[in-house]
Amino acid sequence: MKMNRTRWVTLVLMSAALTVPAVPAQATPAPSAVAQSACPTGWGSFEKIRSASTTAPVKNVRTGRHACFDRMVIDVPGAGAGTGYRVRYVSQLHQDGSGRVIPVAGAAVIEVRAMAPSYHPDTGAPTYPARPGLPLPGVDLTGYRTFRDARFGGSFEGDTQIGLGVRARLPFRVLVLTDRVVVDVAHSWTGR
């Protein structure tokens, strides 16, 4: 029996395909999935300062959860981008003026100081309804991955002080956006 050349080449190629070991295919995530799973790194845990101040008063403090970090926002309407800050890890939160220790829950404490009063500068009337030593009004940290506690330190000589309790000493960043100061604390050092 004589085989034509085309049929013979087809049989040879099929035999070769059957003898080559199979290599498992590896799934490669889509570029958008890679970008979404990567978290920013390089923030560090050292003190961050911006020297600027405003007489526009603090009106609200709020928090939010994100995939890579927990966020605290201090709203200072009318300040534009003119609010300064000093944010740092401390062993204890000491209230300005009195020096009284304010207990803040968490394995580490970040002192957040916005260089804006939480009272009207002309009348002294409070513009943010917080009381020194107590949790921040309207802030519920249940379910947060990093934040554990948030206590109002007070407002003294034009600065508003907050104690932010976190689960460990973790990297953070501070941003000044229009009419607000933003503090982001990462969930981990590795960016995951």
pTM (predicted TM-score): 0.80
Over pLDDT 70: what percentage of the chain?
80
14, pLDDT greater than 70 = no
Specify the pLDDT at position 147: 98
Tens of pLDDT, residues 118-130: 999 999 999 999 9
CATH of 47-186, one of 3.40.710.10, 3.90.1150.10, 3.40.50.720, 2.60.40.3500: 2.60.40.3500
Counts of helices then strands in the chain (DSSP H, E): 2, 11
Q: Give the mean pLDDT of the chain.
A: 86
What value does the mean pLDDT take over residues 121-144?
95
What are the sequence ranges of the domains in the chain? 47-186
What CA–CA distances, in Å, run from 30 to 33, 35, 36, 88, 102? 5, 9, 10, 38, 48
- Yes or no: say if 38 and 58 are a contact pair by the CB < 8 Å rule: no
Tens of pLDDT, residues 151-189: 999 999 999 999 999 999 999 999 999 999 999 999 999
